[in-house]
Amino acid sequence: MIERSPKAREIMANTRQLLTTGGYKNFSYADLAERVGIRKASIHHHFPGKEDLVKAVVQEYRAEAQAGMEAMDQQIKDLLVKVKAYADYWSACIKDGTSPFCICVMLAVELPTLPTDIAGEVTGHFSDLSGWLSSQLSAGEAQGVFKLNETAEVEAKALMAGIHGAMLAARAFDNPAVFDQIAYPLINKVVKTA
């Protein structure tokens, strides 16, 4: 990750929160300046335009997700536990409010109107995630842990969409427990039973 000043980090953290709650079109530099307690010109000093800022936030978010997947690959050998850990991460974030929604899901809604660079990062995040899930499901099928009805790639995309849908449902019902009610049964559908 790029070294950034404490103020740039604060700007990015606040941008991330704004993206989580309302997406790209939800805020302006004026909103952000008021929230951070600085002038708009100071934000422009760190990030010349909104596109630069949001791209930096999404790149960092994507790098964090990649690091998280790599850490799970290194630390967890049980494939079912690893796939459940992906859902566990979001369950905890939704319950404690630290990150109640994936910013890339929020931005995907706006994909047709996003600047090309940001859209590419958002699409890249979904490719990274579905590729990782696909590799877990494929390896799990080979080991007899999972029983897939479709290719690992299709099942991974369906599971990813289901997890993101569970986030949306938890938000729509204003009930974090709804996430678990949807997410874990989706994982259990691919678990091979005796």
Residues 83-92: pLDDT tens digits? 999 999 999 9
Residue 179 confidence (pLDDT) above 70: yes
Separation of alpha carbons 81 and 10, rounded Å: 34
pLDDT of residue 194: 67
Question: Residue range 92-106: average pLDDT?
Answer: 89
Q: Which of 72-76, 101-105, 151-155 shows the lowest mean pLDDT across its residues?
A: 101-105
Please say whether the beta carbons of 173 and 167 come within 8 A: no
Residue 128 confidence (pLDDT) above 90: yes
193 falls in which pLDDT band (50, 70, 90)? confident
pLDDT tens figures, 19-29: 998 899 989 99
Separation of alpha carbons 51 and 116, rounded Å: 9
User: Mind listing the domains of the chain with CATH numbers?
Assistant: 54-188 (1.10.357.10)
Residue 60 confidence (pLDDT) above 90: yes
Separation of alpha carbons 187 and 7, rounded Å: 41
pLDDT of residue 51: 96
Separation of alpha carbons 61 and 17, rounded Å: 12
